[in-house]
Each structure stands twice: as C-alpha cells, then as structure tokens.
Structure 1
Amino acid sequence: MRHLPSARVAAVSALVAVALLAGCRRDAAPAPSTQAPAPAVASQDAAFASAVDAFIDGAFQHYPTFAANAGRHEFDGKLPDYSPAGLKATGDWLHAQRDRFAGFTDAQLDDRRRFQRDYVLAVIDGNLFWLEDSGFPYNNPGFYTGDLSPSMYLTRPYAPLPQRMAAFVAYQEALPKAIDQVRANFKLPLPASYIDLGVNSFAGYASFFRSDVPAIFAEVKDDALQARFKASNAAAIQATQGMADWLAAQQPQATQDFALGAEKFSKMLRATERVDIPLDRLKAAGEADLQRNLDALKAACDQYAAGKPLKDCVAKQAADKPEGGAVEGARAQLDSLRQFIVDKDLATIPGREQAKVEEAPPFNRWNFAYIEIPGPYEKNLPSVYYIAPPDPKWPKAERDAYVPGKADLLFVSAHEVWPGHFLQFLHSNRSDWKFGQLFVGYAFAEGWAHYTEEMMFDAGVGGGTPETHIGQLANALLRDVRYLSAIGLHTGGMSMAQSEKMFLEQAFQNPGSARQQAARGTYDPAYLNYTLGKLMIMQLREDWTAQHGGRTGWKAFHDQFLGYGGPPIPLVRAQMLGGSAEARLWTAPATAVAAPASTPTATPASDTAPTGEAAPAQ
C-alpha cells in the first residue's frame, strides 16, 4: 500500500507505505529545444514551475512526516491530521491540485514539461486512490503505520542527539492524539489479517518505546527535556499498547473481507502505475514468468542436487547459511557487490556513499529486509539496510529456516543496496528536478531492485554457479507468487490459505515466510509491483538496447533509466523510445532454455532479451 510519502520504502516498506546522478548529469526528461521558446510557452513554463513548487510545499503541510523524512526538519515531531476533517482537507487539496495541473495543456508546454505534468498527475491520482477509493483509511492499519514510524529520529544522525531528542519528544507528545484519530476512523468489523498487522505493529511500537528508546537518549544532560521525555514516553507506550489491545479485542468479529475487487484493483494499477492491461493478460504474464523460473530452477537443481525434488534442492541451498547470521553475512556481501558493478561496468555509481547493515527494530519486522535512505534534503548521512530476525514465538525449526542461505541473501543484498534501491536513490537524489527526487513510485523502485537481481546473475555475479542461480531464483519465485497472489486475493477469490500454499509449493518458502507473504498480499495489494515493474523494465531494456548496442548498452540504459527520478514506468518508456505511455510486459521467448550465466559481451540486437535461465527476485 502506498500514499504520498514515497518508497520506501521501500523503505521501502510494507505497506510499502512506510519507510521509503551520476557525476555526469542525467536529464529527467527530454532536453528542451535549443530554440528560444515562444513567449506564451515561456510564460506557461514559469507558471508550471511555480505550480510544482507550490505542490511540494502543500504536500509537506499535509504530510509532515514525509517532509521530515525528506530532510525538511522544521516539520520534525509533527504528525498528519487523521481526523475526518483532516482527511477531507487532504482530499480536497489533491483534487484542486489535479485540476491545476490538468489545466496545463500540451500546446502550452514543451516536451520536458509535458512529461513532468504527467508525472505530477500520476502522483496525485495514486494518492487519491489510496485516500478515497481503497477504503484503507477506514480498515487498514498499514495506511498509518509508515507515518507513525519514529525511526528517523533514532537512527539518522542528521542533528546532535539533544536536538533529535527534542524532535522525538514532540513526536511522542503528538502520538496519542493521532492514534485516537486512527481508532475513530476504523469501521468495524475489520479483516483478520489487517488486525494482525495492527496488533504486531502497535505492540512493536510499545515494546520499542519501553525497552529500547530510553537508552538511546540517556546521555542527554537536559533535565527539563528528560522530564518531558519520561512523561511523553509513558503516554506513547500507553497509547500504542492500548491500540494493539483494542485491535486484538476485535479478533472474534474479524472477517476475510480484504479483497478490493477487480474494478478497484484495475483502477489501482491505472491510477498508481499508469498500467491499463486487462487482468487476464496480467495474470497470464505472471504465470508465464513463474513457469520460466520454475524451469530454470529445475535446470540449476539438475546440476546442484541431481535427482532430488525441487523442494529439497532449494532446502540444500538454504542450509548453506551466512557465517555469523544474516546481518553479518549481508555486511560481508556489500563490498563485493559494489566492486562487481564497477568491474563489469554495469552502471554509474555517483558519489562515495555506503549503506550500513543493522537488525530491524521491533516495530518494523513484517518483512525480512528493507532499506532506509535519507531524503534529498539531507547531506552526508548513512543509509541503513535492515534485516529482521525471525519471530521469537515461532518454533525453533521455523526460526532457523527463516535465515536465508548465502546465495539467497546475496540477491536480497543486491536488491536493497548494490545495484538496487541504494544505487537507485543515489541517482534520484541527484536528479535536477526536485519533484523527481521526492516522489519515487512503487513499481519503479521495486521493479528496478527486482530487475537488478536477474541482471546481476546474467552478468556473472557469484561466479554464475548453480547454487548462486538457485539463490536468485528463490527470490524470483517469491516475487512471482506475490504477483499472482495479489491478483488472486483481490480479484479471483483466492483465500489466504491458498496463497500461503502457493508460497510453500511454488516459491519454496519456509512456513513463517509463507504466512507473512500471504498476509501481506491482503493489506498490500500493490505488492505485485515487484514483478510488474521488472517485466516492464525488461521489455524496455530489450527495445532500447536493440538500437543502442545490444548487451553492451546495458550501462547506458541503466544510467538513463535511473535519471528520470521515479515516475510510472510507462512514462519512462515514452521518453526513452518515443510514442505513447503504454505499458508493455516482457515475456520469455517460447524457445528459451536454461543456460549458464554469462558476462556482458557484444551481442546482436536480436539477442538482447534475457534468456530463460535467469529470473529477477526480491
């Protein structure tokens, strides 16, 4: 799920509502004409630029946590107004903004501004969908939990600790009112999986506030501030635990009414990603990609674990655990992944920033991994790649199984850091258009990160061994089943139990992860965007590199793609290829067969499509 604050997330984060250029400049759109613009166009250009600036200012007012996370710290400690009047005011503002930008006609704008207008309209339409069409403000805790996250104040050293403590205290003081507003918005009964999400999230907040936060600020020598902290901390614990308890009390009346329905699901895709493809075609594309990856898995397993069922083959890969656990294992992988990008010349790496790896905090463990990246107004601050430990309530065998194998973890690290989210945001934060730095869409961010996993395997990461391939395919199959579960859960009558079974049997997930993933599909219907975005990027790469050197054009393709900020991918397609903003999904050639990975070399344009052996993941 997604609203105005951009990914992530991803965090990129789960509801994905949570969390979220090179040394040489990249255009965020086609370069303007070298001819002097006509006076009328020049006037509209200035009016358009002013409208964009006003939109950003208004977005910060309506979404103050978005502003603070972007690095506008005058908004520190503030939370949105979740009252009915506040939600209506936000909706009214979005509609007025839509009318304003729709009023800029093609004739009034040059090519660059037309692209930017369509980008702004897509952001507005997406946020209107989540606010007014999805129903999530009235039944889904995930609509709110991203805004309520205090992670920035605790983990991002953007200011001296006393200043961040004061901001956190203001946040704690605002939290009880915000939670009361959220509770008042919910219309009972609620879907069972939504209740579970809320219980886990709010109880996680309460535990974190109680057990972890006091030690973070203990060294601050300010008696008055410490007194405010103590009082507000107690109130925050009471409010968050009270919310968790209230939600838990709704469990006896819980429903399974989580499905958006086909009409809303299709509207979600049009509004948020500018994808207007019939659901039967979308489903068929996902089924084809799933089968492609299952075929590739069988070929890899024939080499790695000959004669064993696929489930046992994947389990063998998963049993080869990273030394020291997932966090230590990921730390060891990042340097080699970055060097691989440099050695293979796969993409420009702007700047010298690095990402740290830490254990995820208790309130944000709904998914295995995510990265928190400072916003575009911040300077010289670290990004943090978070990895969640298994739920201590699970049986020991499930806890052990939750820690991925080394090969699996390699592609999680590629997805989150090199060359996935972290590299993408290094580029977007250097865009020459502030709007493109701030608003990065779900399919763009997750599609890119997912795409890079298959691309890295194709380039030979990890030596292209069967075990490495199985790790990459494990992530690919997970995303394929997410894609099909989202469509099934929300448009096809699929139950959570059926989705969970699919994760177990076709993505070979461990039981704990399968439960998590099936539940996430109910409250994050847009999590099909990992594979949806990947398939659109793969088709775009095939079409673009056909005219730009085939496989030798990968770096140029990657750099140009990342230079647009984060709009819906069909808009990027129109800019890179010309023509209309049409969504096109890649499908493997019918004759594709599994083959060993190879490094990028010059190939004929007709060979630029990925072969059937590789599949994106994460």
Structure 2
Amino acid sequence: MYRSISRRSLIAAAGLAALPLHAALAEGGSAQDAAFTRLGRDWLEGGLRASPVFATSTGDHRFDADLDDVSAAGRAARIEMNKGLLARLRAIPRAELSRANQVDAAILENQLAGQVWTDEVLQDWAWDPLVYSSVAGGALNSLMAREFAPLPDRLRSATARMEKLPALLAQSRRELQAGRVPKVHVETAALQNRGLHSLVAQVTGEAGALSGDERARLEAAAAALTKAIDAHQAWLENTLVPNAAGDFRIGAELYDRKLAFALNASLGRGEIKAKALAALASIRAQMYDIARGVLAGRPGAPEAPARPTPDQQQKVIEAALELAYARKPARNGLVEEAERQLVQATEFVRAKDLVTVPDDPVKVVLTPEFQRGVAVAYCDPPGPLDKGQSTFYKISPIPDDWTDAQAESFLREYNVYGMQEVTVHEAMPGHYLQLAHSNRYPSVLRSVLYSGSFVEGWAVYAQDIMAEAGYLDRDPLYLLAHLKLHLRVIANAILDQGVHVDGMSREEAMKLMTVEAFQQEREAAGKWVRAQVSSAQLPTYFIGWQEHHALRQEAERRWGAGFSPKRYHDAVLSFGSPPARFAGQLLFDQPIA
C-alpha cells in the first residue's frame, strides 16, 4: 500500500528559530496571541536541538552537522521540555486566541500530549528498532536528496553526521530490550539497515567535490560508518532476531489511545469498523455492477444475475479485474510508467480546472533502500522552509531476488490502471498538490504538525475527484481499479484494529485482503508486514476520506449554486492540513472546538 512519509514520524519535537510564526499576530495581536506565538517559537526552537534530522527535513539547516540524541538522557530532556510547554499551553485561555491560533493550539496540545505519552507509556524507543533506522537513514538522505545548498557544504555536513552515526547505532543497541522487541520489527529493520550502505555510497560517490583534508575526512568517516553498519547488521541478525520475544500486537488500551492521538478525534474503533464494513459491501456492489457491463457478451464469462449470490459476485468481479491485470508495466518500468501518468494527470486537472495546480517541482524516483520494506510508494515533500525544492514521488522497485511468479503477482496488482490510482494519490491531485498548498500556509507550526487523516484522506478523495471528472474517459476497467483501491483503503481500517486488538491471524488477514478486497498475494503479504510494524496509521486513509466527502457535502449544501469544485478545493486547502473538523469550522465560520 502506498503511503505518504509523514514528517511526524521523525518528530520528537521540531525547531525553527528564525521562522515566520506570525499567524497569531496577523489576526489581531492580542496578549494571549502573543503568548501563544512565543510558546510556538519555544517549541519549534527547543525541539530542533532534540531532532536535527527532522530540522533538516523541515528546511532549517543550522544543525545539519548534528544528530538526534537518542539516549535516555536525551529522552528525559525531551519529556521535561514537552511537559513544561504543555503546562504553559494549557494556561493560555483558548477562547482569547484568534481563530487560527485556537486551531494551532489544539493541534500543538495533541502533539505535546501524544509525544509525552509515546515516550512514557508506549515506549517505542525500547522495542521498535525502526525508530532508530528512520533517524539513521534520514540523517544522510535529507542532506543528499535535495540541492538546498552547494554540494560541498552538504558533503561537509554529511561527513560530520557519518562520524556520529556509529555512536547512534551503538546507542540504539543499548536502548532496545530484546524481550520487548517483536521479531518482525527486527527483520524489517535489518532490511533497512542494509540499505544504509547505498546512502554511504551516494555520499562517497560525490567525494570529488571536496579536496585535501576534507575529502580524506569524508572517506575516513565513510569507512568507519561502513564497518559500524556491518557490525549493527550482525547484531540485528545474530543477537536481536534470535532473542526478539515481543508481541507485535500492542493491545486495546495502547491502540485506542494511540488512535485518538493519530486522529486528534474521539472516533472509536467500534464506529470505524462498522463504517468500514458498510463501505466494503457498498463498494463491492458498485464493482459488481461495472463488472457485469464489462463482461456482457464475452464468451466464457461467468453468470452475472442482477441479484447475485456472494460466490457469483466474487467470480464476476474477479473475471472483470483479470482484463485490467492484463495491462501491466514492464518489470523495471514502474518509474517510467509513473512519469507518463503524472504528466497525463496534471494535464487533466488543469484542463478541467479542478483545483489550483502549484508549480513546485515534483520528481518520480526509486525509493532509497533504507526506506523499503514497508510500503510500495511514498510521497516525500520538502519541508515548509525548503522553498523551491522538489517533492519526490517514490516507488520501490521489484526486488531482484523475486521469482517471476512473485513479480507477476506484484505487476497484476500494480497494473497500468492501478498505477494510475497510485499516481493520482501520491502526486496529482493527491499528496504532492495538497502538501504544496499546505506549505504555503503562514503558520509553519501547522505545516509541520499536519493531520495524517486530513492528508491521507485528501489523497483518497483526490482519486474520487478524478473519477468523477471523467478521467480516462470513464474507462470501466479504470473505474474498477479505482474502486478496488478504495477496497484497499477500507481493508486497511479493518486490518489495523484486527491485528492489534482482535488477534487477527495471518490467514484471516490474507483472506480479507486477497478475497474480500481482491488484492494480489504479494501486495497482501507486504501489507501484513506493514500492519504488524505500524499501528493507528492505516485507518487514517479511510477516516480522512469519509471526512473530506462529508465536508464537501456540507459546502454543497451551504453554497448551493455558488458551489464549484475549484472554489471548494482551493478554500479547504487554504487552511493548511489541520484535522478535518477544524477545516470545516474555519470554512463555515463556526466556533473552534
């Protein structure tokens, strides 16, 4: 399953000292607004020292030579800082803030409380090695992926970070507690750790931009880091994997609290599951109706009565999908296919005038090795301060060691029609477009702390925008693929709580994905891994999708003849990426709550 790379995954807190955090003063400049602005600056600045890797990704490059402090002392300092900021924030009368700052204050409170809870209660630092591999890989990738500064400057920073990375890897070995670490987390981390070699090679491949002592220092740092990566790999494979005894299921209590922070809402898993099951039945019924038309008059087509049995519905949809699966990209042609589709989708959005299209650069690239193993496609946007830098639409290649049968399974899932949906979701008018709008919002705090359900929900809603506007001339095979991708979103929501709360087995999960949601085996196998190593993120697609449609329906009701897709889309994207309820309250001038 595709997903966006959330900046929040790196947040211990973030910091940007000399930032234009003027949203509060821009709306009146009351004493309480000024107090909130100071608090926001303190959070941003203080957090930068806790997470220089996150700061680089955000676009503040003052600490590009430093690394996050992942030690117990660093964690204790972060907890103390966040608790202090939380107390200050709760002391500010919310009703006396501007409307924009009331939203930002609610978002910041959720972030601070969630980070304290994560550090003190969830304690992923003790059992999830992916926490550390994310920082290690991001440390170099964030310096080399974008040309925000001259190459020699970025290489000097990379050298300094390479010198410090062996200590970070060693610190992770001290923090992780084998008895609490799930085996699947270690296996995934081992895959990503091996990918660090490609990042080191990328840095050393540019060493010619330095000379003399600087080049010698870079090469020495790279050699030392290579040895450290190998030593860490040996520890992961030979020590941690055999002794990993943790349960990947986090359980109801932790799951419910984490979900509440992820959604910044009180929506419970019972209500989510009921909505998802109803949507699953509805989408399958729509697919059946389309499939009947596709198969009409085709020799050998299965019987397709108006009121099918469950078995008849399954066979008819499967038979129609086979026609879509037949149009596959080449095994090594995913990037080229995505590039072609990106141009096509962009031209369509502009021609239909569906939403204002930004002119920010976007590139289709292969996913770096250290980020592989969790999802097939990602959107990696620049930070709100890295103006003019590219968004990367990342695609993981088919592994070289996959058999032809495994590759065939993958390409059936990511057929030309399926890839169209991924490109719409990740790029146009999905994540790339929405996050480019979000980065223009004047509150950097809101840009940094974007709502996962708003962002992911928009990308799924964007798929509907295209289908409704007649993309690909309403080709019924495209519409089948479109609805099939919605089944994947729905299955995500069911799968996540099924795995972490309900004890769902691999066999049950695979049946949900491959039978009820029509996914191919390779896609479903990868999602089973992802569901184990993550929690409370997979439902954000479904919840956000539902919220965006509800918001649009309300706009249509209120605006009547004055409604147009572009007016609505530009308006809702103008608020950055807050939780949908806040976007609605701002859009319709309702009290912030």
Which bracket does the TM-score occupy, shorter chain normalised?
Answer: 0.7 to 0.9
In the TM superposition, what is the alpha-carbon distance from 1:345 to its structure 2 partner?
1.9
Is the contact between residue 355 and residue 385 of structure 1 (CA under 8 Å) also seen in structure 2? yes
Q: How many residues are matched?
A: 558
Distance 1:265 1:551, change over 3 A: farther
- Corresponding residue of 1:304: 294
- Corresponding residue of 1:611: none
**Counterpart code for 1:462:** L
Is the contact between residue 9 and residue 372 of structure 1 (CA under 8 Å) also seen in structure 2? no
- Corresponding residue of 2:568: 557
Q: Could you tell me how far apart the structure 2 residues matched to 1:295 and 1:245 are?
A: 51
- The yes-or-no answer on 1:105 pairing with 2:93 is yes
Equivalent residue for 1:326, pick from 317, 330, 334? 334
Is the contact between residue 29 and residue 116 of structure 1 (CA under 8 Å) also seen in structure 2? no
Equivalent residue for 1:198, pick from 189, 196, 203? 189
Equivalent residue for 1:167, pick from 145, 157, 171? 157
**Counterpart code for 1:80:** D
Is the contact between residue 134 and residue 264 of structure 1 (CA under 8 Å) also seen in structure 2? yes
Equivalent residue for 1:467, pick from 465, 473, 477? 477
Equivalent residue for 1:11, pick from 5, 8, 11? 5
Q: Which moved more, 1:481-490 or 1:555-564?
A: 555-564
- Corresponding residue of 2:501: 491
Equivalent residue for 1:288, pick from 278, 290, 293? 278
Written as runs of structure 1 = structure 2, the 5 A alignment for 1:534-573 is 534-549=545-560, 552-573=563-584
- Corresponding residue of 2:241: 251
Equivalent residue for 1:65, pick from 42, 48, 53? 53
Distance 1:265 1:529, change over 3 A: same
SS, match of residue 336 in structure 1: helix
SS, match of residue 73 in structure 1: coil
- The yes-or-no answer on 1:145 pairing with 2:133 is yes
In the TM superposition, what is the alpha-carbon distance from 1:213 to its structure 2 partner?
4.1
Written as runs of structure 1 = structure 2, the 5 A alignment for 1:143-542 is 143-148=131-136, 149=138, 150-189=140-179, 190-206=181-197, 208-209=198-199, 211-215=201-205, 217-249=206-238, 250-255=240-245, 257-305=247-295, 307=301, 309=315, 310-322=317-329, 325-350=333-358, 352-366=359-373, 367-403=375-411, 404-525=414-535, 526-542=537-553
| Structure 1: gaps (5+ residues) | 1-7, 21-26, 583-618
Q: Deviations over 1:556-590 (max 9, x none)?
A: 222222122222223223333455778xxxxxxxx
Q: Could you tell me how far apart the structure 1 residues matched to 2:26 and 2:214 are?
A: 52
**Counterpart code for 1:466:** P
Q: Deviations over 1:424-456 (max 9, x none)?
A: 121111112221222222212211112211221
In the TM superposition, what is the alpha-carbon distance from 1:320 to its structure 2 partner?
0.4
**Counterpart code for 1:549:** G
**Counterpart code for 2:175:** N
Is the contact between residue 367 and residue 394 of structure 2 (CA under 8 Å) also seen in structure 1? yes
Distance 1:129 1:406, change over 3 A: farther
**Percent identity of equivalent pairs:** 26
Is the contact between residue 447 and residue 531 of structure 1 (CA under 8 Å) also seen in structure 2? yes
Q: Deviations over 1:387-431 (max 9, x none)?
A: 111122222211233231111111111111111111112111111
Distance 1:272 1:97, change over 3 A: farther
Distance 1:129 1:343, change over 3 A: farther
Q: Deviations over 1:31-52 (max 9, x none)?
A: 95xxxx6xxx822222221221
Q: Could you tell me how far apart the structure 2 residues matched to 1:475 and 1:13 are?
A: 24
SS, match of residue 364 in structure 2: strand
Distance 1:475 1:344, change over 3 A: same
In the TM superposition, what is the alpha-carbon distance from 1:168 to its structure 2 partner?
1.2
Is the contact between residue 28 and residue 431 of structure 1 (CA under 8 Å) also seen in structure 2? no
Distance 1:160 1:111, change over 3 A: closer
Q: Could you tell me how far apart the structure 2 residues matched to 1:9 and 1:298 are?
A: 27
Written as runs of structure 1 = structure 2, the 5 A alignment for 1:34-53 is 42-53=30-41
Q: Could you tell me how far apart the structure 2 residues matched to 1:418 and 1:16 are?
A: 25
In the TM superposition, what is the alpha-carbon distance from 1:157 to its structure 2 partner?
1.1
**Counterpart code for 1:473:** L
Q: Could you tell me how far apart the structure 1 residues matched to 2:287 and 2:5 are?
A: 29
SS, match of residue 38 in structure 2: helix
SS, match of residue 30 in structure 2: helix
Q: Could you tell me how far apart the structure 1 residues matched to 2:587 and 2:168 are?
A: 44
In the TM superposition, what is the alpha-carbon distance from 1:469 to its structure 2 partner?
0.9
- Corresponding residue of 2:309: none
In the TM superposition, what is the alpha-carbon distance from 1:354 to its structure 2 partner?
2.8
**Counterpart code for 1:384:** F
In the TM superposition, what is the alpha-carbon distance from 1:241 to its structure 2 partner?
2.9
Q: Deviations over 1:156-184 (max 9, x none)?
A: 11122211111111121111111111121
In the TM superposition, what is the alpha-carbon distance from 1:539 to its structure 2 partner?
1.3
